[in-house]
Structure 1
Amino acid sequence: MKRFASGTLGIDHGDVVLFSDFEDGGQMWRGDGPRQSRADVRFSQPYTKPPHVQVSMSMWDISNNANSRADVQAEDISETGFTIVFRTWSDTQVARVRVTWTSFGALSHDDEWELY
């Protein structure tokens, strides 16, 4: 559990279309084996420390010719942003993926200051 001493909690969110590989025969649609797609996200304003980030697929379009295999994660989380990483493997064919994300964390407050 994270405790926010400042009492100032920030919540940010968004959606990212990671790829649309069926349009151009991209690697997620035509490839096989381990594959990944990455997208950098910037928060609306910086947090004071790296926030908690939750990601989930809000849309995915897949072929029914193979098993559905997917992993989506938030990586490299910092005060200013993070990277969405979608992975698939084997013979899974993925045409499109959209990921929604939400971040929760402490924001700076005008009453917070330090003496040097």
Structure 2
Amino acid sequence: MKRIDTKLMGIDQGELVLFTDFEKGGAMWTGEGERTRVHTVRFTERFRTPPAVHCALSMWDIDSRTNARVEVSAEAITEVGFEVAFRTWADTRIARARVRWMAIGEVSHEDDWDLY
């Protein structure tokens, strides 16, 4: 469990298109085997500590002739951002994908001060 020791909690959220590979014949649409796309996300404000981040597919367009194999995760989470990693494998063909994310964590207050 992530415990938040502050009177102020911040929630940041967003959505991004991960790829549209069917338009240009990209690897997610035409390739086979393990394939990964990673996108860097920057928070709108800095968190005090790395927040909890949740990612979920908000749209996917997948070929119906193959199995749907997809993994979406938040990785390399810091106070200023994280990476969204989208993975597929085998013969899965994905035309396009979009992901929504939400980060929840401690934020600073203007009256906070630190003694080194």
TM-score by length of 1: 0.96
Residue 21 of structure 1 and its aligned partner are, at CA, apart by 0.2
Question: Which residue pairs with 1:28 in the alignment?
Answer: 28
Identity %: 50
Residue 59 of structure 1 and its aligned partner are, at CA, apart by 0.2
Question: Which residue pairs with 1:67 in the alignment?
Answer: 67
Contact 1:20–1:95 (CA under 8 A) maintained in structure 2: yes
Cα distance in 1, alignment partners of residues 115 and 76 from structure 2: 31
Cα RMSD (Å): 0.9
Runs ≥4 residues deviating over 4 A: none
2:54 alignment partner, SS class? strand
Residue 111 of structure 1 and its aligned partner are, at CA, apart by 2.7
Cα distance in 2, alignment partners of residues 27 and 2 from structure 1: 37
Question: Which residue pairs with 2:18 in the alignment?
Answer: 18
Aligned: 1:100 with 2:84: no
2:58 alignment partner, SS class? strand
Residue 22 of structure 1 and its aligned partner are, at CA, apart by 0.3
Residue 63 of structure 1 and its aligned partner are, at CA, apart by 0.2
Question: Which residue pairs with 2:91 in the alignment?
Answer: 91
Question: Which residue pairs with 1:8 in the alignment?
Answer: 8
Cα distance in 2, alignment partners of residues 66 and 2 from structure 1: 38
Cα distance in 2, alignment partners of residues 74 and 115 from structure 1: 32
Structure 2 unmatched runs, 5+? none
TM-score by length of 2: 0.96
Contact 1:6–1:109 (CA under 8 A) maintained in structure 2: no
- The residue type equivalent to 2:28 in the other structure is M
